[in-house]
Structure 1
Amino acid sequence: MLAELSIKNFAIIESLTVSFEKGLTVLTGETGAGKSIIIDAVHLLAGARGSSEFVRFGEKRAELEALFLMDDDKHPVYNKCDEFGIDISDGMIILRRDLSATGKSICRINGKLVTIAVLREVGQYLVDVHGQHDNQELMNEENHINLLDQYGGKKIKTALENYFDVYRNFDTLQKKIIQLSENEQEMAHRLDLLQFQLEEIEGAELQPKEDELLTEEKNQISNYEKVYESLQNSYSALHGEQRGLDWVGHAMSNLENVGSINKTLQDLSETISNAYYMLEDISYQVRNELESLEFDPERLNFVESRLNEINTLKRKYGQSVEEILTYSAKIEEEIDTIKNKDSHLYKLQKELDSILEDLSIEAKNVTSIRKNFAEVLIDEIHQELKELYMEKTTFDVNISLKQTSGQQVKYTANGADDVEFFISTNPGEPLKSLSKTASGGELSRIMLAMKSIFSQHQGITSIIFDEVDTGVSGRVAQAIAEKIYRVSNGSQVLCITHLPQVAAMADTHLYIAKETSSGRTKTSVKPLKEEEKIREIGRMIAGVEVTELSKQHAKELLSLAHTSKG
């Protein structure tokens, strides 16, 4: 759940910290007080597109921060955070986003810098924002298949995964066939280019790890003088009269003379003897290295020239000799494919036909599961719509096969189905596409009906409704209020509303107000106590002036809400 939201220098909000509780929280207040601005802040923290226009006038940046508390350590957001290397401790997730007046945006999750894309990936598991314009998801028929699959949950997901394993191979083969079927002129140009590249790489006669070995050799030759001087000085320090080995030898002889006196002296004598012979052996190794050193300027020129040649190839074909050789093998295979295009096309087509059989089976399985879930969804939607006084409305899910212009089945990464929601809001009228039929008020109720169902399958911790109840009143408003409250039983719900019926159902009621101070507008948030709730709901009923009658009506609404909650 969203536990706390902190906003600073965002739109008309100078500084604001709001705590939220479980259940249903409603936000009410006069138009323009800043209710939707608070929801905009949450939306941005969930990865929505930002703008410098959100930064409060005269300030350099806006700062947004939200704390989410996770009760379930099996929640999918844990896997998503783990995927991006984000640590979750004590079940807390903190989203932070800074928007600068220059348009730049900085995002963090639990202190770790992330991109907006990552913020959006994680945010989608934490909060789901629905506003007046978010009904566009229902209006866009391309989203209908995603909503159905979301409803189908694990069964459809598993079927799609099995399908996609086959589709991936199918798609790769299709692309190869299309590439080989390009016009002759393009293929000829491609062949010339590949042959030139292959000849250039083969002409260099590269050896594995050659660049690394040559670089090491160049380093040794270039540092000849430094190495020679160091070896010479080391050897001189060890060998010769009055040098290191000479003095260690004196120490060894003296200790040998007294070693038989006691065990301690004997151990010291043996230790220094071992050290002497070890140093002597090292001095011989240093001498051998010194004698083997040879400065060859011609070899250095060759090494540098060869490295330049390899670096030129690296700029074209790969970052290492291994990558260049891998690329060489790849284009050699492509050259063979182009030269023997017809036989390769025949072979690829046979492979494609074989995979197509498996793909068709998997696609039919996905379609079958979708149709089964569509039937269940239709029944549940009808029940939800009935409770929203749309009992005469008929809802249907149309599932048809995608087809190419040649009337063949068209397979995509999401299967072979077109899914579209149809509706008839009046008896006797034919079913028509939802995107072309429903009015604004009807869409709000249909969306709420679907959200009542989908919220049980999504695992979202917080759902936000931003004036989704616009355009309804009377008994429909009461039904919507009860429906929103029911959604809050499975997920925390924040709801901006102008309906007194919805406000009466709230577990927590927050009043949003704005005031002007020193010529600047500020927004404040206040949790309402029981008497304040009555007055605010009375204002929502009566308008500006709150009368005793409206307050009485508010009390009745609160009493009815209490009864409805059970």
Structure 2
Amino acid sequence: MLVELSIKHFAIIDELTIPFEKGLTVLTGETGAGKSIIIDAIGLLLGGRGSAEFVRHGEKRAEIEGLFSIENHHPVIRKAQELGIDVQDDMFVLRRDITAQGKSICRINGKLVTLGILREIGGGLVDIHGQHEHQALLQAEHHLGMLDSYAKSDLAQAKAEYKSIFERASALEKQVKHLSHNEQEMAQRIDLLTYQLKEINEAKLEPEEDRLLTEERFKLANSEKLFQSLNDSYGNLYGDGKGLDYLMNAMMHLEEAASVDKNLAPLHESISNCYYLIEESTFTIRDQVDGVEFDPNRLDFIESRLNDIQRLKRKYGENVEDILEYASKIEEELDTILHKDDRVLQLQQELDTAWHDLYVEGKAITDIRKKAAKHLTKAIHKQLKALYMEKTVMDIRIEPKPPTKSSPTIDGKQVAFGPEGMDQVEFYLSTNPGEPMKPLSKTASGGEISRIMLALKSIFQTHQQITSVIFDEVDTGVSGRVAQAIAERIHAIAMGSQVLCITHLPQVAAMADTHLYIAKHEKEDRVHTSVTPLELDEKVDEIARMISGVEVTDLTKQHARELLDLAEQLKEPH
């Protein structure tokens, strides 16, 4: 659950800290007071799209931080650990800063993370339901995802196997299409690859040749300096009165000293060893001096060779190894094109096998979806009955995706495959007896959509293991006994997980376990937002305001008390 939310310099909010409790928390207040802004802040904390416009005017950054408490075995803990995020005491601290330049800085438990990771973790903690989800329910392309969300655990393995085969089939199909291009394009490609391969082969490159030649060029270009340095070094060591001569004298004197004091024998031995090592090195230096030579022809050859290699680097890679690797790659491609008929036949056979395997996996997914659709339809009808839509009939129709000209033929008929399977799903509805089933988008009113969406949330809440659910004005377009039914349904969801709800319905507000009043006021010519937990008498006044809309009378207060009493009676059995 969301334990505490801290907001600073966000929109019209200067600084705000809101503690949250378990159960149903409602947020009410006048229009424009900042209720939706609080939900927007939570949305950004969970990885929503941010911009500089969210930063309060005159401030450098907006800061949003939330503390979440979760159950020990919640799947989001394992996901966080896989991402290298330390989780202690089953707590998550999510933080997001948005600068005045629009840059986002995201942290989870103090660790800097990308926006994608913040969204991945946040999506497992909170489910925000607002007006945009009403629109998603009206769009058939979203219905497949809703059904799959319900059947997630049953579909997981089948979809993983399907996805693996689908990716392989797509790659094979791409290769077949590439090799089946028109003859003119293929001829041009053959000419290009032949020219490139010939150019690289004629260069007769050796691994690391560019590095070795560069080192040799440097040595040749500095041969005079090399000769002088080696010769001076040799001259300082060898000859009368030079280094070795002095070291020889020292060794002889130490030998005489050691004949008097045996304790000096190790020192004499050490000096002797040094003498012979230096003597050997001196002769090596002499050999090196004799070997130094300046060959202008060799230097010219190296310069020419490096220029040729540099020209190839500009075309084919950063070093000789890259060029040789590129040559190997185009040689393989050239061979494939020259023998493309055989290759196409082989790939087509592999592709046909992949399509058949995909069809088997796709049918398995379809069967799981059809079974899940029956269970989901039954569960929706049960929920709708409690929301006074008992005469409504809903049907989840699963049809094959329409094939295109390029769709493969399986068992004599064309089959369309997509990333999610072979199906298209659409919700159908009949709101009155005797009326034909029609697509949901052409049948349901705003109030009916609200109730259907709430029914789906009630069902999905048990499947998704979300710790908190947020309803942002989902009660639009309803009133009377339907409003009361929605209030009871929202409270029922809150029994299984924390629910935060922005509402304009007094029936929903009356069912709240915690009632937060959002208000705005001016201070020093700036607008500020405040959040106040309401006590019983204050709840009565606020619900009375929600009932009357303008003037609060004794009658509306009495009605408000009746709603609160009814709410307590309804909650008592639980």
Q: TM-score, normalised by structure 1?
A: 0.88
Matching residue within 478, 488, 492 for 1:486 = 492
| Cα separation, 2, equivalents of 1:560 and 1:240 | 116
* C-alpha RMSD over aligned residues: 3.2
**Secondary structure class of the residue paired with 1:134:** helix
- Compare 111-120 and 161-170 and name the one that shifted more: 111-120
Instruction: Return the match for 1:515 from 502, 507, 521.
Output: 521
Please point out which of 453, 457, 460 is paired with 2:459: 453
Query: 2:163 is matched with which residue?
Result: 164
Q: Find the aligned partners of 1:500 and 1:238 in 2 and give their Cα distance.
A: 103
1:163 to partner: Cα distance:
1.2
Conserved 8 A contact 1:2-1:66: no
Give the superposition deviation at 1:230.
6.2
Hey, what does 2:42 align to over in structure 1? 42
Q: Measure the CA separation in 1 of the matches of 2:190 and 2:238.
A: 67
CA distance change for structure 1 residues 250 and 339 in 2, over 3 Å: closer, same or farther? same
Q: Residue 149 of structure 1 contacts residue 157 of structure 1 at CA under 8 Å; is this kept in 2?
A: no
Query: Which stretch shows the higher mean deviation, 399-408 or 262-271?
Result: 262-271
Cα deviation per residue 1:37-67 (whole Å; 9 max; x = unaligned)?
A: 111122223232333433333x254413222
Letter in structure 1 aligned against 2:433: P
Aligned equivalent of 1:193? 192
Name the stretch that deviates more: 73-82 or 174-183: 73-82
Compute the displacement of 1:539 (Å). 2.2
- Mean CA deviation greater in 239-248 or 546-555: 239-248
- Please tell me whether the aligned partners of residues 510 and 527 of structure 1 are also in contact (alpha carbons under 8 angstroms): yes
Deviation of residue 549 (structure 1)?
3.7
* CA displacement at 1:36 relative to structure 2: 0.6
Give the CA deviation at 1:493: 2.2
Instruction: Quote the Cα distance in structure 1 between the aligned partners of 2:504 and 2:380.
Output: 25
Shift of 1:253: 5.3
- Note if 1:343 corresponds to 2:342: yes
Write the letter of the residue equivalent to 1:448: L
What is the match of residue 371 of structure 1?
370
- Equivalent residue, structure 2, for 1:474: 480
The amino acid that maps onto 1:364 is K
Q: What is aligned with 2:142?
A: 143
Which residue pairs with 1:526 in the alignment? 532
CA contact (8 A) 1:201 1:328 kept: yes
* Partner of residue 106 from structure 1, selected from 104, 107, 126: 104
Cα shift readout 1:487-527 (whole Å, capped 9, x = no counterpart): 23343322111122222332332211101123221111222
Contact 2:55 2:98 in 1 (8 A): no
Q: Provide the rounded CA distance (Å) in 2 between the counterparts of 1:287 and 1:23.
A: 91
Aligned counterparts of 2:469 and 2:228: Cα–Cα separation in 1? 75
| Secondary structure in 1 matching 2:414 | coil
| SS of equivalent to 2:529 | strand
Structure 2: gaps of 5 or more residues: 406-412
Please state whether the residue corresponding to 1:540 is helix, strand or coil: helix
Aligned residues: 563
8 A Cα contact 1:50 1:99, kept in partner: no
Q: How far apart are the structure 1 equivalents of 2:112 and 2:296?
A: 51
- 1:26 corresponds in structure 2 to 26
Q: Is the 8 A contact 1:3 1:66 kept in 2?
A: no
Equivalent residue, structure 2, for 1:545: 551
The CA distance in 1 between the partners of 2:418 and 2:131, in whole Å, is: 32
Change (3 A) 1:335 1:261: same
Structure 2 residue matching 1:135: 3-state secondary structure: helix
> Distance between the aligned counterparts of 1:223 and 1:490, measured in 2?
81
Displacement of 1:261 in angstroms is: 8.7
Shift in CA distance, 272/116, structure 1 to aligned 2, threshold 3 Å: same
Report the Cα distance in structure 2 between the residues aligned to 1:508 and 1:452, rounded to whole angstroms: 20
Aligned partner of residue 396 in structure 1, secondary structure: strand
Residue 241 of structure 1: how far off its partner (Å): 6.3
Q: Shift of residue 115 of structure 1? A: 4.6
| Pair 8,283 (structure 1): closer, same or farther in 2 beyond 3 Å | farther
For 1:5-16, what aligned pairs fall within 5 Å after superposition?
A: 5-16=5-16
Describe the shift of the 1:522–1:137 C-alpha distance in structure 2 as closer, same or farther (beyond 3 A).
Answer: same
Say which is worse superposed, 404-413 or 393-402, in terms of deviation.
404-413
Aligned match of 2:130:
131
| Residue of structure 2 equivalent to 1:354 | 353
Amino acid across the alignment from 1:137: A
1:224-277 Cα distance to aligned partner (Å, 9 max, x none): 567666656666666666766666666655665566899975555555555555
Shift of 1:112: 5.1
- Are 2:392 and 1:386 equivalent residues in the alignment? no
Q: How far off is 1:126 after superposition?
A: 3.1
Q: Distance in 2 between matches of 1:271 and 1:22?
A: 83
Contact (CA 8 Å) 2:61, 2:98: kept in 1 or not?
A: yes
2:551 counterpart SS class = coil
Q: Identify the residue that residue 463 of structure 1 maps to in structure 2.
A: 469
- Whether the 8 Å contact between 1:44 and 1:50 is mirrored in structure 2 is yes
Residues 538 and 328 of structure 1, relative CA distance in 2, 3 Å threshold: same
Structure whose alpha-carbon radius of gyration is higher: 2
Counterpart residue type for residue 348 of structure 2: Q
Distance 2:343 2:211 in 1: 38
State the one-letter code of the partner of 2:9: N
Mapped to 1, the partners of 2:268 and 2:239 lie a distance apart of: 22
1:204 corresponds to: 203
Over 3 Å counting, the alpha-carbon distance change for 1:428 and 1:233 in structure 2 is farther
Distance across 1 between alignment mates of 2:536 and 2:274: 90
Quick one: structure 1 residues 435 and 284, their matched pair in 2 at CA, closer, same or farther if it must change by over 3 Å?
farther
Q: Which residue of 2 aligns with 1:182?
A: 181
In structure 2, distance between residues paired with 1:94 and 1:552: 43
Answer whether contact 1:382 1:391 (CA < 8 A) is retained: yes
CA contact (8 A) 2:2 2:69 kept: no
Q: Structure 1 residues 300-309 or 485-494, which shifts more?
A: 300-309
Write the distance in 1 (CA, Å) between the matches of 2:319 and 2:465. 47
Percent same amino acid among aligned pairs?
Answer: 55
Quickly say closer, same or farther: Cα 1:258–1:441, change in 2 above 3 A: farther
Matched, 1:417 2:423: yes
For the residues of structure 2 that align with 1:534 and 1:260, how far apart are their CA atoms? Answer: 114
Amino acid in structure 2 at the alignment position of 1:505: M
- What is the Cα deviation at residue 35 of structure 1? 0.7
8 Å Cα contact 2:70/2:467 also seen in 1 = no
| Cα distance in structure 2, aligned partners of 1:398 and 1:371 | 8
Q: Distance in 1 between matches of 2:68 and 2:216?
A: 59
**Gap change, CA 1:317 and 1:378, over 3 Å in 2:** farther
Counterpart residue type for residue 23 of structure 2 = G
* Residue aligned with 1:5, SS: strand
Where does residue 408 of structure 2 map in the other structure?
Answer: none
